[in-house]
Chain A
Amino acid sequence: MTDLWVALLALFAVWTGWRVFRVDSMVRASFSLMLSFIAVGAIGVLLSAPYIGVATVFMMAVEMMVMAIFMVMFMMNPAGLNPMVMVHQHRLSIGAGVVAALSLGAAVLFSRPPDDAVRAEADVVAELGHELLGPSMLIFETAGVTLLATMVGAVILSSRQGRFGAADEGSRPPGLSDGGAPAGRQPEGGGGHHHHHHHGGHG
């Protein structure tokens, strides 16, 4: 029974994953992606990894909400809700995806992973806790530092205003002479080809 659910959920995850690139707006795409994640999270719950599964579901739900809001609020107004097709090297990409999936599938079929299912009585959440604060503490801590660094970095890059006014003002290389233009290649005319040219409801 569980196996059937798992199989169906896996199929659902794949199908929704496929939908991500088939739907005609980014918001729908991100909801499809969320559904795919939720399916995987559900598989986790079914396969005795409740913590991981639930964490996945919650985390991804939040992330995808953020992503959707992000697109609506911040990015290409009103493109976030508009139908769109924005692809390049499409055939090659399909080919690459198919080849990757098929060869991984073949590898899966030809591989002999150990056959040792999780014991039903195991207290997996506690084991995870012990692992995190025990043998793998260094990894966990490194992950923590990484998250910290990511937050700092993201703030640096994205914040508009800093302590001293506009955060990015003056953040450019020194010129060849004091106050001159930076050396080397110059930016190409201020975002000349704006995306509006590329999609306009033909989708």
Chain B
Amino acid sequence: MTLTIVLLGAAALIGIGLYGALSQQSFVMLMMGLELMLNGALLAVIGFWSLSLGGMPEGQLLAIIVMAVMAVEMAIGFALVVAIYRKRQADMTESIGTLKG
């Protein structure tokens, strides 16, 4: 029961995150959407580890990996945003539309 609630929460977080990723114009807000999706993944993995998989150690490892992914993506993302902002004073996805077709 608890697991289901946790997983439903995770599903909701993933849905909201996806909404954010799709709808936000600002790079930073967009990344928040991605973070939220990963937050959902984190919630799910905690739930699975604790309530379903008998606390197997790989579960914790996966949680750490989820965090690592978040951190790594954020770091590189911010670096890119900085670089682009410096060249173009642009912080929105619409402003990088040169490459197309």
Query: Interface residue tally of chain A, by bracket?
Result: 35 or more
Q: Which residues of B contact A130 (CB under 8 A)?
A: 57
Q: State whether A86 and B79 are in contact (beta carbons under 8 Å apart), knowing that A55-B64, A101-B11 are contacts in the complex.
A: no
B9 CB to closest chain A CB (Å) equals 3
Q: Which of B5, B8, B82 contacts A158 (CB 8 A)?
A: B82
Given contacts A88-B94, A115-B51, 18 further A-B contacts (CB under 8 A): A3-B2, A6-B2, A17-B39, A43-B6, A52-B63, A86-B26, A89-B23, A92-B22, A96-B18, A97-B16, A98-B15, A101-B15, A116-B53, A117-B52, A122-B55, A153-B76, A155-B79, A191-B95
A117 and B91 CA atoms in complex are apart in Å by: 45
Main secondary structure of the interface of A (DSSP, over half): helix
* Given A10-B43, A146-B72, A71:B28 Cβ within 8 A: yes
6 contacts between A and B (CB under 8 A): A14-B9, A33-B36, A67-B32, A97-B17, A97-B19, A98-B19
Contact partners of B32 in chain A: CB under 8 A: 20-21, 29-30, 33, 67
A13→B43 CA distance, assembly (Å): 9
| List of A residues within 8 angstroms of B85 by Cβ | 74-75
- B78 touching A70, Cβ below 8 Å: yes
Contacts of A101 in B (CB 8 A): 11-12, 14-16
Does A185 belong to the interface (CB within 8 Å)? Answer: yes
Q: How far is the CA of A53 from the CA of B60 in the complex (A)?
A: 10
Cα-based distance from A14 to B36 in the complex (angstroms): 9
Given contacts A52-B46, A108-B8, A132-B61, contact A193 B19 (CB under 8 A): no
Complex CA distance for A191 and B87, rounded to whole angstroms: 8
Residues of A within 8 A of B (CB): 2-3, 6-7, 10-11, 13-14, 17-18, 20-21, 26, 29-30, 33, 36-37, 40, 43-44, 47-49, 51-53, 55-56, 59, 63, 67, 70-71, 74-76, 86-90, 92-94, 96-102, 104-105, 107-109, 113-119, 122, 124, 127-128, 130-132, 136, 139-140, 143, 146-147, 150-151, 153-158, 160, 168, 185, 187-188, 190-191, 193-195, 198
> Which residues of A sit under 8 angstroms from B9, Cβ to Cβ?
10-11, 13-14
Contacts of A29 in B (CB 8 A): 29, 32
Closest 8 CB pairs of A and B: A101-B15, A97-B19, A118-B55, A10-B9, A93-B23, A131-B57, A104-B11, A191-B88
Given A147-B72, A191-B90, verify A116-B54 contact (CB < 8 Å): yes
Q: Which residues of B contact A20 (CB under 8 A)?
A: 16, 20, 32-33, 36
Closest to A97 in B: B19
Chain B binding surface, main DSSP class: helix
